[in-house]
Every structure is written in structure tokens, then in C-alpha cells.
Amino acid sequence: MHQMSKEMQSCIDECLRCYQTCLGMAMTHCLEQGGKHVEPGHFRLMMACAEICRTSAHFMLIGTPHHKHTCRECAEICEECAKSCEQVGDMQECVDECRRCAESCRKMAA
């Protein structure tokens, strides 16, 4: 396995936490709450966020330099997801995790 920096390992951890949080909140909290929590735009964004987080973690784990591209996109989608979750309300865990992941991914993309 390639030598991984502490910063990269930290970003992988953030991405996987965000993946778990977004997917978990969407499949439980949002589906149970209904209404604005399952509006197509918001729900698709949560699914996109979970998927790009998983993909970014995967790219870093396999050691491809293309992780810079996925991390850049991940940061953008995480910020958008955080804003959407904030607007919907009652989703602070998701807001916080998305913002932490976005910050970590911005550093990895630089």
C-alpha cells in the first residue's frame, strides 16, 4: 500500500463520515419526515453528496492522483448539500458533517 499522509487519511475519514451521515439521514430522517425533506432537489443532492464522498474516499484509498478532481467536486457538492439541509431545517448533523468534509476536501484538492 502506498504511504498516505495524515492529511489524506483525515480527508478519507471525513468523506466516509459524510457519506454515512448523508445516506443515513436521507434514508431514515428525511423519508420519515416527508414534505420538504423528500423534495426531489434536496433528496437528489443528498444522494449526490453521499456518492461523491464515497467516490473521493475510494480514489484516495487506491492512490490515484485523480483524487484532486473528485475532492474539488466533493467540496462543492458538500457545501451545496449543507446549505440545502440548513434551509430544510432539523438536519444540523448533516450540515456540520458536510461542512467538515468540504473543508477537508478543499485542502486535498489544492
Cell 436521507 appears where? 26
Q: Which residues neighbour 67 within 8 Å (Cβ) at sequence distance 6 or greater?
A: 56, 59, 60, 108
CB 53 within 8 A of CB 16: yes
Residue 42 in contact with residue 88, Cβ under 8 Å?
yes
Helix (H) or strand (E) holding 80: helix 67-88
Number of residues written out for the chain:
110
57-74 CB burial, b ≥16 within 10 A, e <16: bbbbbeeeeebeebbbeb
Go through the domains of the chain in sequence order and give each one's CATH number. Answer: 41-109 (1.20.1270.360)
pLDDT in tens, the chain (110 residues): 457 899 999 999 999 999 999 999 999 999 999 999 999 999 999 999 999 999 999 999 999 999 999 999 999 999 999 999 999 999 999 999 999 999 999 999 99
| pTM of the predicted protein model | 0.95
Give residue 53's pLDDT. 98
